[in-house]
Amino acid sequence: MDILFANIQSCLLNILFIYFCFTIYFKFLERNLNTFTNAFIIVLVCGVSIVFSMTFPILFIKEIPIDIRQIPLIVGAFYGGRRVTFVLTGILLGYRLYLGIPDFALAFCVYSLQLTLLCIVFPYFKNTVNLRKKLWIALGTAVLASSSTTALNVLFLPLPITVEFLVFSLILVIIQATGVLFCVWFTEKARKDLILSKEVAKLEKLKTVSTIAASISHEVRNPLTVTKGFLQLLYDSGLSEQEREYYINTALEALEKAESTITDYLTFAKPSLENVKVLSLHKELISVKNLVSPYAAMNNVEIETRLEKNIYIAGEKEKLHQLFINILKNGIEAMPQGGTLKIELKCFKSDAIITIADTGIGMDEEQLERLGNPFFTTKDIGTGLGTMVVYSVVKAMGGKIHVDSTPGTGTSFTVLLPTVEAAEL
């Protein structure tokens, strides 16, 4: 028993290193790898584990190292196939020959038998879908391989058959079988989690598409219905000129609303920039402010500006206007009782910092986390497309956006956009 306790540290070190190597392989499961790349990674991970186990064995008996090299060999064979099994067996025998361990002929016979066993078991393991059956196959293979190795060593080598040796051999079989089971279980769990995450991602995409279709249909159909109704009323020959003008203006307003919804949707769906120019942020923000000033006055909102000059960015003018108009409109509508909307522009290092702050109703932490998600809105009437457009345009321009908000105090949007020189194209 003294030998057993003296070598527990080496055994645990081997197990930790093997688990570390397979953890790296689990990370590669998240990527779409071709067959050759997957086989190469398995050979690399299992080969390194085999070499490490043989370099730091648990103990030596008659100059024969006892280690847990069979764990990566068996697991690699299960998930790599016959070719990987041949390569790993070659690595094992080649490194054993390099270390100069005696009785190479016996080792060659032992691992040739294991190679045959793994090649026979591999198709059954691969074609088994049930996890419990895979674990039983792995357990049986590990116990048979480890037991046969010990039996052949006892049979052909003059090893002392003592109580300590038998206890240690039994514990080694248990350790190797348990190690194979855990590696198989973790690998299958990682694969299952990967499949589930892909399915969830597909379902989320389908849900988003259906939500977009339903929302766009609803938001466009309503103004079109209004337009259709008022155009039908124009057939009435008894209409006065004032009524006719009112109907036409109402129909045009409904069409503009539908056009605005479609524009927001297209900007979100295709956020890339097409007509990129060098723009003066001071000039563009003044222009946007003038556009929304009448709407702000109607809602009893005062707009304050503090804008630095000579700050330029590369972007598309129309989408930049759409970006800031959406933020300003949201700020105005967040102050139903009136208030102050502040616009600040300054430059820090290579970024232009635009801050738009209102004194409105604000948002809580849950609303902030959902901000920018498809069709989330804090308004009683709204689609959430405007905020989605803001995030899409900022991303397309290589910028960042940060939102701070406190319920009852207000919300602050901070947009960071990379600057360029005025003469840069």
Closest CA to 320 of 355, 350, 277: 277
Whether residue 7 sits in one domain with residue 105: yes
Whether residue 30 is predicted with pLDDT greater than 70 in this model: the reply is no
Over residues 341-354, the pLDDT tens digits come to 999 999 888 888 99
Alpha helices for 234-313 (secondary structure H): 241-269, 281-298
- State the total domains in the chain: 2
- Structural domain ending residue among the three candidates 153, 184, 201: 201
Whether residue 310 sits in one domain with residue 193: no
Coil, strand, or helix at residue 35?
A: helix
| Least confident stretch, 49-53, 271-275, 359-363 | 271-275
Whether residue 161 sits in one domain with residue 36: yes
Whether residue 21 is contained in a domain is answered as yes
Q: Write down the pLDDT at residue 266.
A: 66
Percent of the chain beyond pLDDT 70?
A: 75
Whether residue 221 is contained in a domain is answered as no
Confidence of residue 355 (pLDDT cuts 50, 70, 90): very high
Whether residue 183 sits in one domain with residue 35: yes
| Least confident stretch, 102-111, 236-245, 246-255, 380-389 | 380-389
Over residues 179-194, the pLDDT tens digits come to 888 888 888 887 888 7
Higher-pLDDT residue of 58 and 321 is: 321
Closest CA to 156 of 101, 106, 105: 106
Q: Write down the pLDDT at residue 344.
A: 92
Whether residue 141 is predicted with pLDDT greater than 60 in this model: the reply is yes
Q: Write down the pLDDT at residue 8.
A: 62
Confidence of residue 264 (pLDDT cuts 50, 70, 90): low
- Structural domain ending residue among the three candidates 168, 183, 201: 201
Whether residue 4 is predicted with pLDDT greater than 80 in this model: the reply is no
Whether residue 197 is contained in a domain is answered as yes
Whether residue 213 is contained in a domain is answered as no
The model's pTM = 0.52
Q: Write down the pLDDT at residue 369.
A: 75
Whether residue 21 is predicted with pLDDT greater than 50 in this model: the reply is yes
Confidence of residue 423 (pLDDT cuts 50, 70, 90): very low
Q: Write down the pLDDT at residue 384.
A: 59
Confidence of residue 138 (pLDDT cuts 50, 70, 90): confident
Residue 103: partners with Cβ closer than 8 Å, 6 or more residues away: 64, 156, 157
Residue 198: partners with Cβ closer than 8 Å, 6 or more residues away: none
Q: What is the residue-averaged pLDDT of the chain?
A: 78
- Write out the residue range of the structural domain in which residue 403 sits: 277-420
Percent of the chain beyond pLDDT 90?
A: 1
Answer yes or no: are the C-beta atoms of 230 and 243 closer than 8 Å.
Answer: no
Confidence of residue 383 (pLDDT cuts 50, 70, 90): low
Whether residue 164 sits in one domain with residue 302: no
DSSP states along 360-394: S----HHHHHHTTSTT--SSSS--SHHHHHHHHHH
- Structural domain ending residue among the three candidates 152, 168, 201: 201
Which amino acid does the sequence have at 124? Y
Query: Angle at CA 403, nearest 5°, toward 418 and 272?
Result: 45
Whether residue 299 sits in one domain with residue 165: no
Whether residue 41 is predicted with pLDDT greater than 60 in this model: the reply is yes
Whether residue 182 is contained in a domain is answered as yes
Whether residue 358 is predicted with pLDDT greater than 50 in this model: the reply is yes
Whether residue 185 sits in one domain with residue 47: yes
Q: Write down the pLDDT at residue 425.
A: 42
Closest CA to 324 of 302, 356, 352, 369: 356
Whether residue 357 is predicted with pLDDT greater than 60 in this model: the reply is yes
* Cα 93 → chain centroid: 41
Pairing assessment for the beta strands 301-307 and 339-348 based on DSSP bridges: parallel
Higher-pLDDT residue of 273 and 244 is: 244
Q: Mean pLDDT, to the nearest integer, of 160-166?
A: 67
Closest CA to 116 of 94, 68, 148: 148
CATH of residue 306's domain is 3.30.565.10
Q: What is the largest CA-CA distance in the chain?
A: 118
Highest mean pLDDT among 147-161, 224-238, 305-319: 305-319
Whether residue 196 sits in one domain with residue 281: no
Q: Mean pLDDT, to the nearest integer, of 144-163?
A: 71
Whether residue 191 is contained in a domain is answered as yes
CATH of residue 193's domain is 1.10.1760
